[in-house]
Amino acid sequence: MPLDHETVTRIARLARIRLTQEVQEKTLPGLNSILGFVEQLSSINTEGVEPMVSASATTLRLREDRVDDGHCRDAVLANAPESFAGFFVVPKVVE
Amino acid sequence: MAIYEGRTGDWGIVVGLEVHAQITSASKLFSGSSAAFGAEANTQVSMVDSAMPGMLPVCNAYCIEQALRTGLALGAQINLRSVFARKNYFYADLPQGYQISQYDQPIVGEGAIEVDLPDGSTKTIRIERLHVEQDAGKSLHDQHPTKTYIDLNRSGVALMEIVSKPDIRSPEEAAAYVKKLRTILRYVGTCDGNMEEGSMRCDINVSVRRPDAEFGTRCEIKNVNSVRHVFQVIEFEARRQIALIEDGGEVVQETRLWDTKKGETRAMRSKENAHDYRYFPDPDLPPLMLSEGFVENIRKSLPELPDAKKQRFMADYGLSAYDATILISEQARADFYEELAKGRDFKLCANWFITELLGALNKSGKDIGDSPISADQLGDLVDLMSNDTISGRIAKDVFALMLETGKTAGVIVEEKGLRQVTDTGALEAVIDEVMAQQADKVAEYRSGKDKLFGFFVGQVMKASGGKANPGMLNDLLKKKLAP
Amino acid sequence: MSDLCKMTVSEALEGLSKKDFSAVELTKAHVSACENARELGAFITESFDLALQQAVASDARRASGNALPLDGIPVAIKDMFCTKGVRTTAGSRMLENFVPQYESTVSANMFANGVVMLGKANQDEFAMGSTNLTSAFGPAINPWKRADGKPLVPGGSSGGSAAAVAANIAMAATGTDTGGSIRQPAAYCGITGIKPTYGRCSRWGIIAFASSLDQAGIFTRNTLDAALMLKSMAGFDPKDSTSANLAVPDFAAATKRGVKGLRIGIPKEYRVSGMDGDVLSMWEKGAELLKAQGAEIVEVSLPYTEAALATYYIIAPAECSSNLARYDGVRYGLRVAEAGDDLDDLYEKSRGAGFGEEVRRRILVGTYVLSAGYYDAYYLKAQKVRALIARDFSRAFEKCDVLLAPTAPTPAFALDESPDDPVTMYLNDVFTIPASLAGLPGMSVPAGLSASGLPLGLQVIGKPFDEETVFAASAALELAAGFPGRK
Ligand SMILES: [Mg+2]
Ligand SMILES: [Zn+2]
């Protein structure tokens, strides 16, 4: 089922990407082309097939509980668009 | 079960809790930064914690062990295969744009805990699951009029989220649940349970219904950080929902915040109320596989748990459920008691420990760990009572001096000359003196006014400076007064 | 152009050790070649000063008898690899001013082997594309020319890397391959490109596109060079939980094994419609050449091949939508906000402006396929089909040791011939994506020219962590094909 503008608006909002009306008009056909294309998977029988999450066949490797990182505030803040007194700064958030 | 009387009849409540407990570990769940509390902003932050491009998580073995330990302590099912998933949402203090958590395959499944209610009864609250996840950073909203400051020191710290089934039916039960959970976590050493520092926070789901009706629509109140507040939140929220429904309104499922200053809950103002977290397995983290042997080794390493200890205290020391519950509520209390009770009168020890020592500590806001009196020292005092060196009444004075001066009971008794008078001759002399002074009362007594016996006991005790051995005094007085 | 730039890595190493020239001379020659080829747009950021410093240090090591295995070899690093102190953009406006404070494991491994970095190679934005046209810094251009003289795409997403190596302005260049982003541009540019097994190279410090697929690899002008370079890049990294804890074999030795007795599988489902006739005939010729050297040719079946593209275009966008959530204008990267904007305005404006059309499109698709009510139908379904595709390969490998297939269905096309419809564009990756989904090693070897005089590549796909056999077959193919190289 092709996407409508309302759905694209909702998805764009979830993804926090602002689309102007014009860009959204341009975006919609491409999205629908892709979603129409991937629709073909629905005809494949996957009963009893375990989903494959990764190409990696390993299981989770665990590391020792040791403090060996951090203490690099300047490096952490080096690329910040705005920082103050060691904090990152954003517009006031009202909870 | 609590009944709430509404204008239109009775209501009951249904409560479920999600407790976030910080795992006691040196470093974070997926990075080597320190997880310690209280450092300067953004100093305990690595490239991983600040979600720099290309950074990858590596899981902390100890955190996994701690979660397992907790799961076993909750008598819960351990899942030998579990999966880390991403919970996607945007927030200022969530650097990755997702939280690494566990979703449909958590490390710990269903369990249960027994909570101890104020009336001495117990109730089983079932656990839905326990999963491991990252904490977010911290937003400071009140430092600047138009800006929020972000500190990522907590970003990535390991949490256990322990989710109860909706089995809780009153604020008391909720408070007891949180207390018991905290006790268990502290016993197994997986969380320090320090709610002020945020090591334990509760999300509370509350709904109301007519007694025994279907569950109503619930609201979730986020980040409640003390047992007292848990109680207050549920009280407030239950009454709010009842009033709302009785006024013809409808409860909407939403996330609310607890305003500690106003003592009320309010809906979050942020736009994002319709969450769609788009959970999916984290492709950076293969599935976590545990062996039976590993789990068994952890099971064997668990200490005696609170409920088992309580049963043992009741059986071995002959204590009431009430006393036993108090004693086992902290491992350190239980240990103190067991050391105190060794070779002494169990009941006397329990009374002195609970009423006097815990009472005194409580008054000064201290823990048993801060007690200025050791188990041995309190034991010496108990011994002085048991061997009749001092009376119970004098012992209270001695105890007060022990707290005040830090001196031992023996020293205080000697210095103050508080030893009981157990010398028959000396005591007889005091009795004779009192009887001489109160000749008319003696006559009255002998003519049948038995009630005056207590008066003589008081007079003699007073004349002895309180040091008369009460048993001896009784016996001698009875003999002397006999007609 | 100096002859110093036309050598292979192994030839240069020999020349350096024989003191025929110094690392500084080699580097300077490449720097000036880079300067003369700026119209190719191969680099987003040049790091010539750093390169010369590294070359000086390299000469000093060699002089003191401590030369490292790749000491003095000038390379380009794809802009997906975070390089400490050198701007790293991933081809995106979003990271236009981002300077990493850390070094990716792969580039650190290479530096530890003595390589010299000329700069950061151009690429499709966040590695999403097959043409290099999605780069926010302008396209890279294929150094090959068609009769009509129109500028051609180098392929993508590692287009700048491929163009640089093909144009002889870097001796080798790193790439990343998520669905074909090394193999396809290697084929378009007439050079060698290998994507090793998923887990062979650490992903730590490589900007993530689709984590379950991304893998680093290398472009060179022959298979031996690829073996030497890959050896230096690969290896276990405890900082990447998906890194394989396996020793790195001697790939160079494997290039000399030959193919006698090797079973070469020809997947019949790769004869797709729309495939260039030249491509098909070259594929057949490649099989013949290997057979002539003693290999056994067997036909195998990969029944779920046709589903691979659709599977990929669910999984990769899903992962990318989450991986790219960190670009929010808070800790680094582009921030677009005006006075009075709240945090959501800041997020939406920054991300709306920072990401280009293709990246936005994939984030939106990925967000959609993971969203409530659609997860099972799209994402979960794709993961199951992915398992079927991987199973196809393991069954095929019961009958053969490596697979031989075309790398891309057509030779390089002109910039202005790039299709507008994304799905038509995605069809370029039809031969590379299945192996990516299965995590298998794949290498593209230039095997001949199309009628239009453009290079065509053949792809050798191996079993997991059996890059050695891939190198053996690729080297044999290279030898037999006698690819003329660019005139
Ligand atoms: Mg929760
Ligand atoms: Zn949680």
DSSP code string of B323-344 = HHHHHHTSHHHHHHHHHHHTTS
Cβ-based contacts of C199 with chain B (< 8 Å): none
Q: Residue C272 pLDDT > 90, yes or no?
A: no
Percent of chain C exceeding pLDDT 70 equals: 99
One of C157, C350, C444, C450 is an active-site residue; which one?
Answer: C157
Least CB-CB distance to A63: which of C238, C242, C355? C238
Chains contacting chain B through 3 or more C-beta pairs under 8 A: A, C
CA distance B44 to B50: 10
B20 alpha carbon to ligand 2 midpoint, in Å? 6
Q: Parallel, antiparallel, or unpaired for β C455-462 and C296-300?
A: unpaired
Angstroms from B104 CA to nearest CA on chain C: 13
Q: Which of B31, B150, B276 minimises the CB distance to A14? A: B276
**pLDDT tens-digit map of C23-44:** 999 999 999 999 999 999 999 9
Residue C78 bears catalytic tag: yes
Using an 8 Å CB-CB cutoff, list chain B residues near A63. 32, 58-61
B407 and B446 fall within a common domain = no
B132-157 mean pLDDT:
96
Query: What percent of chain C has pLDDT above 90?
Result: 95
Chain B residues within 8 A of C211 when measuring between CB atoms: 283-284
Which among B40, B90, B148 has the least Cβ separation from residue A86? B40
Work out the average pLDDT over C3-20: 96
pLDDT score of B271 more than 80:
no
CA–CA dist B79, C44 (Å, integer) = 48
Sign of the Cα pseudo-torsion (C351, C357, C362, C364, in order): positive
Which chains form contacts with chain C, at 3 or more CB pairs under 8 Å? A, B
What is the average per-residue pLDDT within B46-56?
Answer: 98
**How remote is the CA of residue B87 from the centroid of ligand 2, in Å?**
10
User: Do B259 and B329 fall into the same domain?
Assistant: no
Instruction: Look up C321 and say whether it is catalytic.
Output: no
Neighbouring residues of the ion ligand 1, judged by CB less than 5 Å: B 18
Closest-approach residue (CA) in chain C for A8: C364
pLDDT-above-70 percentage for chain A? 100
Q: Which chain A positions have a beta carbon within 8 Å of B281's beta carbon?
A: 53
Alpha-carbon torsion (B227, B232, B233, B238), positive or negative:
positive
The share of chain B scoring above pLDDT 90, in percent, equals 76
Length of chain C as a residue count? 487
Q: How confident is the model at residue C1 (pLDDT cuts 50, 70, 90)?
A: low
Q: Do B233 and B309 belong together in one domain?
A: no
Reading the block at residue B340, the tokens are 């105190």
Is C157 in the active site?
yes
- Ligand closest in space to the Cα of B131: 2
Domain check: are B292 and B358 in the same one? no
Q: What CATH number corresponds to the domain at position B464?
A: 1.10.10.410
**What pLDDT, on the 0 to 100 scale, is given for residue B118?**
86
Q: Which pLDDT score, from 0 to 100, does residue C261 have?
A: 97
Of B395, B416, B437, which closes a domain?
B416
Let me know if residue C230 belongs to a domain.
yes
Average pLDDT over residues B311-316: 96
C227 CB contacts (<8 Å, ≥6 apart)?
Answer: C251, C252, C254, C255, C471
Same domain, B345 and B431: no
- Are C154 and C163 in contact by the 8 Å Cβ rule? The answer is yes
pLDDT score at B463: 85
**Banded model confidence at residue B272, pLDDT cuts 50, 70, 90:** low
Q: Which residues pair with C220 in a beta bridge?
A: C192
- The more confident residue out of C101 and B475 is C101
Q: Please return the burial class of C460, using the count of CB atoms within 10 Å of its CB with bins 0-12, 13-18 and 19+.
A: buried
Residue among C321, C365, C387 minimizing CB distance to A50? C387
Residue where the block lists tokens 């403090």? A67
Q: If you average pLDDT over residues B273-277, what whole number do you get?
A: 77
Tell me the one-letter amino acid at B17: L
CB B189 within 8 A of CB B197: no
pLDDT at B420: 76
Q: Are B107 and B132 in contact (CB under 8 A)?
A: yes
To test the contact with chain C by mutation, choose from A26, A37, A89 the residue with the greatest count of C C-beta atoms within 10 A, namely A37
* C121 φ/ψ angles, rounded to the nearest 5 degrees: -80, 145
Q: Can you tell me the ipTM of this complex?
A: 0.97
pLDDT for residue C487: 63
What is the number of domains present in chain C?
1
Say whether both B286 and B210 belong to one domain: yes
Domain that holds residue B163: 3-298
With H, G, I as helix, E, B as strand and everything else as coil, classify residue B121: coil
Q: Which of B377, B393, B416 is the last residue of a domain?
A: B416
Whole-number pLDDT of residue B274: 63
Q: Is the pLDDT of residue A56 over 90?
A: no
* Candidate from B52, B56, B98 with C-beta closest to C322: B98
CA B46, B50, B55, B59: dihedral to nearest 10 degrees? 70
Question: C58: which residues sit within 8 A by CB, 6+ positions away?
Answer: C23, C67, C68, C71, C72, C114, C116
Based on the domain organization, do B440 and B374 belong to the same domain? no
Tell me the three-class secondary structure of C331-345, residue by residue. Answer: CCCCCCCCCCCCHHH
Measured between beta carbons, the chain B residues lying within 8 angstroms of A16 are: 90
Query: Is the Cβ of B53 closer than 8 Å to some Cβ of chain A?
Result: no
Distance CA(C392)–CA(C396), nearest Å, equals: 6
Residue C471's nearest CA partner among C159, C229, C252 is: C252
**Do C377 and A82 lie within an 8 Å CB cutoff?**
no
Higher pLDDT, A64 or B437: A64
Give partners of A (≥3 CB pairs < 8 A).
Answer: B, C
Q: Please calculate the CA angle C259-C262-C267 and round it to the nearest 5 degrees.
A: 115
- What is the model's pLDDT at position B419? 81
Q: Is the pLDDT of residue B183 over 90?
A: yes
Using the predicted structure, report yes or no on whether residue C88 has a pLDDT greater than 90: yes
- C37 near C167, Cβ under 8 Å? yes
Asked if residue B366 and residue B285 are part of one domain, the reply reads: no
Q: Same structural domain for residues B147 and B183?
A: yes
8 Å CB contact between B59 and A60: yes
Centre of ligand 2 to C-alpha B232, Å, is 22
Q: Is the pLDDT of residue B270 over 80?
A: no
Q: Which residues contact A66 (CB under 8 A, 6 or more apart)?
A: B26, B27, B32
- Total structural domains in chain B? 3
Domain span at C191: 2-261
Give dist(CA B278, CA C206) in Å, integer. Answer: 24
Centre of ligand 2 from the C-alpha of residue B202, in Å:
10
Closest CA to B283 of C318, C15, C281, C262: C318
**Cβ separation C371–B148 shorter than 8 A:** no
Q: Which helix (H) or strand (E) holds B134?
A: strand B122-134
Q: What is the mean pLDDT of residues C467-486?
A: 93
**Residue of chain A nearest B288, judged by CA positions:** A60
Q: What is the pTM of this model?
A: 0.93
Residues B357 and B378 grouped into a single domain: yes
Question: Rounded CA gap, C213 and C331, in Å?
Answer: 26
In whole angstroms, what is the distance from residue C436 CA to residue C444 CA? 13
Cβ(A79)–Cβ(C94) under 8 Å? no
Among C183, C188, C175, which Cα is nearest to C79's?
C175
CA distance A45 to C304: 11
Omega before residue B25 within 30° of 0, cis:
no
Q: How many CB atoms lie within 10 A of CB A48?
A: 6
| Sign for the pseudo-dihedral over CA of C433, C434, C439, C441 | negative
User: So what's the pLDDT on residue B151?
Assistant: 98
Please report residues of A whose CB lies closer than 8 A to that of C245.
58, 61
| Interface contact flag, C207 B278, Cβ < 8 Å | no
For A12-49, write each residue's pLDDT tens digit.
999 999 999 999 999 999 999 999 999 999 999 999 99
Spell out the residues 6+ positions from residue C220 whose beta carbon is closer than 8 angstroms to its own: C8, C9, C165, C171, C172, C191, C192, C193, C226, C229
Nearest CA in chain B to A13: B272
Same domain assignment for residues B453 and B475: yes
Whether residue C6 is contained in a domain is answered as yes
Q: For residue C217, give the CATH number of its domain.
A: 3.90.1300.10
Residues B258 and B351 in one domain: no
Beta carbons of C241 and B58 less than 8 Å apart: yes
> Residues C212-237: pLDDT tens digits?
999 999 999 999 999 999 999 999 99
What tens digit of pLDDT does each residue of C341-359 get?
A: 999 999 999 999 999 999 9
Average pLDDT, chain B: 93
3-state secondary structure of A65: coil
Please write the tens of the pLDDT for every residue from C350-397.
999 999 999 999 999 999 999 999 999 999 999 999 999 999 999 999
Determine phi and psi for B87, rounding to 5 degrees. -110, 110
